[in-house]
Structure 1
Amino acid sequence: MLVVTAATALRHDYKDALMKSIMFFEGQRSGRLPPNQRMTWRSDSALEDGFDNHLDLVGGYYDAGDNIKFHFPMAFTTTMLAWSVIEFGLTMHPELPHAIEAIKWSTDYLLKATNTPDVVYVQVGDPWADHNCWERPEDMDTPRTSFAVTKEYPGSEVSAEIAAALAASSIVLRRFFPKYSNLLLARAQEVFKFADTYRGSFNNSKVGHWVCPFYCDYSGYQDELLWGAAWLHKATQNEIYLNYVLNNVYQMGRPWNIGEFGWDSKDAGISVLLSEFLLSKKMDAKPFVSYADEFVCSAIPGSSSPSVIYTPGGLIQKPQMNSLQIASSLSFLFVVYARNLKLANRVVQCEHGAVVPSTLVNLAKSQVDYILGNNPMKTSYMVGYGRRFPRRVHHRGSSSPSIKVHKQHIQCKDGTTYYASKGYNLNLLTGAVVGGPDEHDSFDDDRNNAGQSEPTTYINAPLVGLLAYFSENY
C-alpha cells in the first residue's frame, strides 16, 4: 500500500472543508428555498410535489445529480448528519447552525412523508423519465408521482431508516427546538412500529419498479429494523428498544455483514453505535462489541480476512464498488469506535496484532486526506476545495446555466448540450464529493462517467462529522 509521506503530504484546512461539505446540502435542496440560501445559483423547484395524492411533499433533498427524491438514501443521509453532530457538534463552530439547518431541512420533509398513519411515502418523481432528461430542477417537467408503502405493500427498510433519522435528529434538536424534538421522537416510534408490524421489503411492493435498480435494498430489511431500534434506544434510553435489538439479532434469519455500512447495509454501524452504551455500562457486550472488533480487524491493512481492499494510493474500497461513500462511511465508524475504545480503556485484539484507538484515527485521517488531495492524482475530490478539483460533475443543475441567468425553460432533451459539453460546469456545486477514483487511483473528470463524477448526499454526510473532528484535533 502506498503511503503519502510527511515530506509530500499536503496540509489541509479541515475547517474550510467542513464549511463547504455542509454548504453542499444547500445545492441539493428541493422546494422553496430560504432567504439565507448560500448556493445562490439555485432557485425554487418541485413546488407541487405530493399534489397527485392531495398532499404536501414539497421540500427534502435530491440525493445526487438527478431530480428524484429517494427517501431511503435521504433518510440515511439525515441519520448520518445527525450522528455527526451528536459525536462532533462541539467542534463544528461556527458551522454548527448550518449543520442543524441541514438536518431540519430533511426532518421537516420526513414528517410530511409520514403524516398519514400506516402510510410512508418513499419517493417522489419518475426516475425512468427523469434519467432520460437533462433538466435543471427548476425546469423539470417529468412526472412527479409520489409513491408510498402501506400495510398491504410494506417497506420495512425505508420506514425503519426514516425512524432512525427522526430519532437521531431528535437528539440533536432537543436543545434547540424541544417541542419539535418531541414530535420527531414520537413520530419515529410510530414509524418504527409500522415498519416492524408490517414486515417486508419495498423491492417486492408496488414501488419496486420505481426504486429498483436505483436504490434497491440488497441486504434485506432486517438490518434497518435493528438500526432503527438502536437509535430509538439512544434517543429514549428505553430498554424495550435495546432488548428488541439484543433479542432479534439472532432471529432475523440473515448473516451479519461484519464490514458493511452505507445506505443499504447498516451492520457495522449498528455494532459501533451500540458499543458506546454496552462498553460504558459494562454490560454483556455480545455480540455487538465482538462484531465491532471483527469489523476493525477486517478493515485494517494486513487483515487475514479483509472486508475491504486498498488501492495502491491507500484508499479504502470494496471489490467492484469504486465510491468514496465507502471511505467516508467506514472512516466515520473508525473514529467513533476509537473514542468508544478509549473511554473504555480497551484495544482490539486482531490476528495480526493489537489495534489501538490512535491507529483507527490515523487510518480515518488518511482517508479524509486522500479525499482532500493526498492521492496519486493530486486532486481534491471535493468541489471547490483545493487548487485542483472536479470541474465536470455529473449534476444537472451544476452543469446547466442558472435559471437566474438563463430564464427560459430548458426542456428535457435541450439540456443534452450541457451534458455533452467538454467544458467546465457552469455553476460551482461547492462542497460536493464525487464518486471518486477507481481501484487503480485513476479518475476521469467527465460528467458522462457518472460512477466517478456524480456526487451524493450520503458521501458527504459522514464526512461532515470527520471534518469536524479533524478540524479540532489536527
Structure 2
Amino acid sequence: MAFSITMLAWSLLEFGQSLGTDLQHSLKAIQWGTDYLLKATSVPGFVFAQVGDPYGDHNCWERPEDMDTPRTPYAVSKEFPGSEVSAEIAAALAASSMVFRPINRGYSARLLKRARMVNGDKYRGSYNDSLGPWACPFYCDYSGYQDELVWGAAWLLRATKAPYYRNYVLANIQNLDKSSSFAEFGWDTKHAGINLIKSQTPEPFITNADKFVCSVLPESPTISVSYSPGGLLIKPGGSNLQHATALSFLLLVYSRPLSKDSRVIHCGNVVATPARLIQVARSQVDYILGSNPLNMSYMVGYGEKFPERIHHRGSSLPSITQHPQHIDCTGGATYFYTNNPNPNLLTGAVVGGPDIKDSYGDSRADFAHSEPTTYINAPLVGLLAYFKSH
C-alpha cells in the first residue's frame, strides 16, 4: 500500500495538471491511503506493517463484509526493526505532503512531520527478520532495506530541501547493490526510481538513469527485459503488468528533463531521444488498453473485451444485496471454482496480464495473471493523465 501511495502522489506531482476533473478522485484516493498510514504510525515507537495472518486470509474465499479470520496486527519497532516498510511509508507521506501542500497546508505539514519520524534509519533491520514467520512468503522483501532507506530519504529531500537528506542519499547510495539493480523498480526494489528522482544531481545518478533506459528499450544492445511478440514488456515472476506500468512511468518521467536539456541517451550505437522514451511508454499503455494480439483490454470494464474472472474476492462473490446470508471461509469455494464471470465489476482494476506469448486464460485460479493489484494501477494513473493530454 505504501508504494502504491508513493506512486499515486508522484503521478500527481508530475502529471496532475492533466487530470482535469479526475484530480479530486486522485486526491481522495491518496488521502484514503495516507490516513491509514498515519494510523499505522500513530503509536510512538511502532510501525504497524500488517494486519491479519496471510495464511489464514489466503485460505479463505469470502467477502470483506464476512471476514472472520483474526485481525492480528503486526508491528516493527526498536527491538524488532523493519526499515523497508518504515522507509516506504516515509516516502509515501513525504511525496503526499507535496501533493497536499497547495490545498491543505495543515494536513501536508502533518504528513511531512510523520514522514521524518518513521524514516526507518534510526533502528536498522529487515522486517523479514522481525515479521518473517507471518509476512513471508507472501510479502517478503527480496532486495534488502538499503534501497528503501535511500528512496525514503530522496523523497524527504524533495519535500524539505534539507541538506541532511541530500548528504544522507549521497553517503548511502554506495550501500546499494552494484549489479544490474539500476534497472529494477517496483514495490520491492527502488533503485531505478532513486536514480530518476536524483537525475538532476551529478554522478552516479545520471549515468544509472541512462543505463536504466538502455536496459528497457527494445532496440538497445544492453536490454535486460523481454518483449512478447505483441510488444509487451516482460520480466520474470507474476503480475507482470506491474513492470509494464512502473517502468513506463519512469521512462515518461525521465523524458521531461531530457527534453528540457535537449539531451539524448546513447545505448551503444543506438540513440534514444526523449520522444522515443515516450513512444515506448505509450506502446505499453496501448497494449494494456487493447492494442494487442487478443484485442483485449486488461483493465476491467474498459473496452468490449476485458478479464471477467479476476482473482478478487469481492468481485467474484455475490453482493450482500443479492446474497445477504453469511458466506464463511470455505463457503466461497463454489464461486471461486465456477467458470461463470464475476458478478461484480471491479471497474478500472488492471490484472497481472498475459504471458510472454501474449496468451491470457482468464482464470480466477491463475492469480499470477488474473489478480489485480494497487501497485499495477498506481503508476498507470500518471501515464493515463499524460496521454490524455498528449
Q: Shared fold by TM > 0.5?
A: yes
Please state which band the TM-score falls in when normalised by the shorter chain: over 0.9
Looking at structure 2, the residues matched to 85 and 290 of structure 1 have their Cα atoms a distance apart, in angstroms, of 26
Change in 2 beyond 3 A, CA 1:259/1:321: farther
1:359 counterpart (276, 280, 284) = 276
Residue 215 of structure 1: aligned partner? 139
Residue 227 of structure 1: aligned partner? 151
Which of 109-118 and 312-321 deviates more? 312-321
Change in 2 beyond 3 A, CA 1:348/1:166: same
RMSD after superposition: 1.1
Contact 1:302 1:352 in 2 (8 A): no
Which of 387-396 and 348-357 deviates more? 348-357
Tell me the amino acid that sits aligned with residue 230 of structure 1: A
Looking at structure 1, the residues matched to 312 and 174 of structure 2 have their Cα atoms a distance apart, in angstroms, of 42
SS in structure 1 opposite 2:221? Answer: coil
2:243 counterpart (316, 322, 326) = 326
Alignment of 1:206-285 (within 5 A): 207-252=131-176, 255=179, 257-275=181-199, 277-278=200-201, 285=202
Displacement of 1:304 after TM fit?
A: 2.4
Residue 287 of structure 1: aligned partner? 204
What number of residue pairs does the alignment pair up?
Answer: 390
Residue 80 of structure 1: aligned partner? 7
Displacement of 1:254 after TM fit?
A: 5.8
Residue 200 of structure 1: aligned partner? 125
| 1:207-232 deviation per Cα after TM superposition (whole angstroms, max 9, x unaligned) | 11111111111011000000000000
Looking at structure 1, the residues matched to 177 and 370 of structure 2 have their Cα atoms a distance apart, in angstroms, of 37
Change in 2 beyond 3 A, CA 1:218/1:93: same
TM-score (norm 2): 0.98
SS in structure 2 opposite 1:463? Answer: helix
Residue 303 of structure 1: aligned partner? 220
SS in structure 1 opposite 2:259? Answer: helix
SS in structure 1 opposite 2:121? Answer: helix
Looking at structure 2, the residues matched to 211 and 303 of structure 1 have their Cα atoms a distance apart, in angstroms, of 38
SS in structure 2 opposite 1:147? Answer: strand
1:189 counterpart (116, 132, 135) = 116
Q: Which runs of 5+ in 2 are unaligned?
A: none
Tell me the amino acid that sits aligned with residue 274 of structure 2: P
Q: Which runs of 5+ in 1 are unaligned?
A: 1-73, 279-284
| 1:206-259 deviation per Cα after TM superposition (whole angstroms, max 9, x unaligned) | x11111111111011000000000000110111211111111111456646111
Displacement of 1:197 after TM fit?
A: 1.3
Residue 257 of structure 2: aligned partner? 340
> Which is helix-richer, 1 or 2?
2
Change in 2 beyond 3 A, CA 1:352/1:114: same
SS in structure 2 opposite 1:313? Answer: coil
1:91 counterpart (15, 18, 39) = 18
Tell me the amino acid that sits aligned with residue 407 of structure 1: P
Tell me the amino acid that sits aligned with residue 342 of structure 1: S
Matched, 1:436 2:360: no
Residue 65 of structure 2: aligned partner? 138
Residue 28 of structure 1: aligned partner? none
| 1:400-459 deviation per Cα after TM superposition (whole angstroms, max 9, x unaligned) | 011122111111111111101100101000000000001111101010111111000000
2:285 counterpart (363, 368, 388) = 368
2:99 counterpart (164, 172, 190) = 172
Percent identity reads: 60
RCO higher in 1 or 2 (8 Å CA, sep ≥ 6)?
A: 1
Q: Runs in 1 of length 4+ with deviation above 3 angstroms? A: 251-256, 319-322
Alignment of 1:53-132 (within 5 A): 74-132=1-59
SS in structure 1 opposite 2:85? Answer: helix
| 1:43-81 deviation per Cα after TM superposition (whole angstroms, max 9, x unaligned) | xxxxxxxxxxxxxxxxxxxxxxxxxxxxxxx00000000
SS in structure 1 opposite 2:341? Answer: coil
Displacement of 1:85 after TM fit?
A: 0.4
Looking at structure 1, the residues matched to 180 and 116 of structure 2 have their Cα atoms a distance apart, in angstroms, of 25
Looking at structure 2, the residues matched to 172 and 407 of structure 1 have their Cα atoms a distance apart, in angstroms, of 40
